[in-house]
Amino acid sequence: MIGDIDLGTVLHRTVAEKLSEHLRSSDGEDPLSLDDEQALTRSLIAAELRRLAADAYRNGEAPLDAATESELADKVFDRVHGLGRLQPYIDDPDLANIHVNGYDNVWLVYRDGTKVRGEPAANSDRELVDMIATAARRIGRSEKRWDHVSWELHLQLPGGERLHAVMGLTGRPAITIRRHDFTIFRVKHLIDLGVIDEGLSAFLAAAVQAKLNVIVAGGTNTGKTTMLRCLLNEILPDERVVTVEDNLEIGLERFTDLHPDQVMWERRGANIEGRGEATLADCVRATLRQNPDRVIVGEIRGVEVVDMLRAMSQGNDGSMSSIHADSSKGAIVRLGMYTAEAGLDEQTSNKWIANAVDLIIHVGWVDGVRRVTSIREVLDAEDRQIATNEVYRPSGDGRATPALGPTIRNDTLDRLVRVGFDPAYLANPSGWW
């Protein structure tokens, strides 16, 4: 009998080929649901294991015991419909990110920031590439390619995780998997995690309901997408919500009860002939023709900033986005850099930003915990400067607390109060932590 590792590889290839053959033969018929396709895979695996057992008896050899068969069946299934040895990590709710820098260099980042080394993802870089390439073709029937021509891969896994893979430009294949905790989807959930306190929760919920335009700022892995998801889910269900993302991560489709009238856009790269590209700017521009009440852009990274600012300033009040920045003030600088890339002069850029953006919320790591550290109100453009007020500023321990003195415009406060916000939350300089 060939070794277990080779047997798993052989079984994987045999089952994957038979599954593809079955799907090709049924082309034109109603496609199988994901559940039915997975059930078919299980059936094919069981049939192959029965064949192997029969071969073993015929040759006078001992067949695999039940426990080994079950373990092998699970591994083959995970290679066909999942990601092999990586699948247990993907299924671990405590993990936030998985980094694979070659088959034997795996790093796991937990939600509390802890980083540890994981077990090898495969037996070789070639096997790792084969596994990911198979997933690209099979998962969700995306039929995406990952090879030296199509060297970059973006893939949404069945659980909503985002996979990004590169080969040929990094020495060894490099894969990053981002796991989102979709059980965190309301502003109140952020209180239990220590991201915000009671007063900040009330302020943020009121800001959304008052239709203030919001930018969420922060560094990598600080929880910008989670914050955006929580803010988005404070929007009332009778509003038409349109999201635009580089890769679908917010998970709007999971909250159809909260947002029955929704449209999700995802940027698309060009095909191998160089055609069919739809940039973020293209998508944002097109959403404005779909009569949205609010436009949510997952992350501003470049010239799409102009279309986002246009959406915020032409009647789509309450629109939101996120941006990479190390502070709430730094977010304004970053917005200015992107508008400059789009060809706007500084004075015009400042007027656009001041006219469009109401609040900037900064999230960052404080003593190993994600926290809101600052909330800045954008006031006006004065000459070559943008005037702002820091409504919440970092305290001595880095957590956002109400700033002393009159730090928010009366008309903004009136909008918040009209939707139920209690101004007393701004009267405690130590906050409500």
Contact at 8 Å (CB) between 277 and 270?
yes
Which residues is 108 bridged to in the sheet? 98, 116
- Does the pLDDT at position 298 exceed 80? yes
- Does the pLDDT at position 25 exceed 80? no
Kindly tell me the sign of the dihedral angle through the C-alpha atoms of 179, 192, 197, 112.
negative
Tokens 């040929």 found at: 168
pLDDT of the residue at 31: 67
What CATH architecture is 83-179?
2-Layer Sandwich (3.30)
Q: Where are the domains of the chain?
A: 1-81, 83-179, 189-426
- Does the pLDDT at position 4 exceed 60? no
pLDDT of the residue at 221: 85
Q: What mean pLDDT comes out for the span 270-290?
A: 84
Contact at 8 Å (CB) between 215 and 332?
no
Which residue type sits at 351? K
Task: Give tens-digit pLDDT for 88-118.
Answer: 899 898 999 999 999 999 999 998 889 999 9
List phi, psi (to 5°) of 306.
-65, -45
Please give the Cα distance from 25 to 58 (Å, whole number): 32
Task: Give tens-digit pLDDT for 315-338.
Answer: 789 999 999 999 999 999 999 999
pLDDT of the residue at 409: 92
pLDDT of the residue at 332: 96
For the ranges 132-141, 273-282, 365-374, the maximum mean pLDDT occurs at 365-374
Task: Give tens-digit pLDDT for 119-172.
Answer: 999 989 998 998 888 788 776 455 578 888 889 888 888 788 889 999 999 989
| Nearest in space to 10 (alpha carbons), one of 87, 75, 54 | 75
Q: What mean pLDDT comes out for the span 262-274?
A: 82
Please give the Cα distance from 203 to 361 (Å, whole number): 11
pLDDT of the residue at 74: 86
Tokens 């995802």 found at: 266
Provide CATH code, domain 189-426: 3.40.50.300
Percent of the chain with pLDDT over 90: 59
- Across 39-53, 79-93, 320-334, least confident range: 79-93
- Does the pLDDT at position 3 exceed 50? no
- Does the pLDDT at position 54 exceed 70? yes
Q: How confident is the model at residue 14 (pLDDT cuts 50, 70, 90)?
A: confident
Please give the Cα distance from 30 to 145 (Å, whole number): 24
Tokens 């070659």 found at: 102
Do the two domains 83-179 and 189-426 of this chain adopt the same fold? no
pLDDT of the residue at 268: 83
Please give the Cα distance from 344 to 357 (Å, whole number): 17
Percent of the chain with pLDDT over 70: 94
* The token pair that represents 417 in the structure block: 């109060």
- Give me the chain's average pLDDT, please: 89
pLDDT of the residue at 320: 96
- Does the pLDDT at position 357 exceed 50? yes
Contact at 8 Å (CB) between 161 and 364?
no
Please give the Cα distance from 63 to 59 (Å, whole number): 10
Compute the residue count for the chain: 433
For the ranges 227-241, 278-292, 301-315, the maximum mean pLDDT occurs at 227-241
Which residue type sits at 103? Y
pLDDT of the residue at 11: 87
Q: What mean pLDDT comes out for the span 245-265?
A: 92
- Does the pLDDT at position 5 exceed 70? no
Which residues is 385 bridged to in the sheet? 382
Please give the Cα distance from 377 to 326 (Å, whole number): 17
Please give the Cα distance from 393 to 372 (Å, whole number): 9
Helix axes 304-313, 280-287, angle to 10 degrees: 20
Q: What mean pLDDT comes out for the span 239-250?
A: 92
Which residue type sits at 299? E
Q: What is the SS3 assignment for 216? A: strand
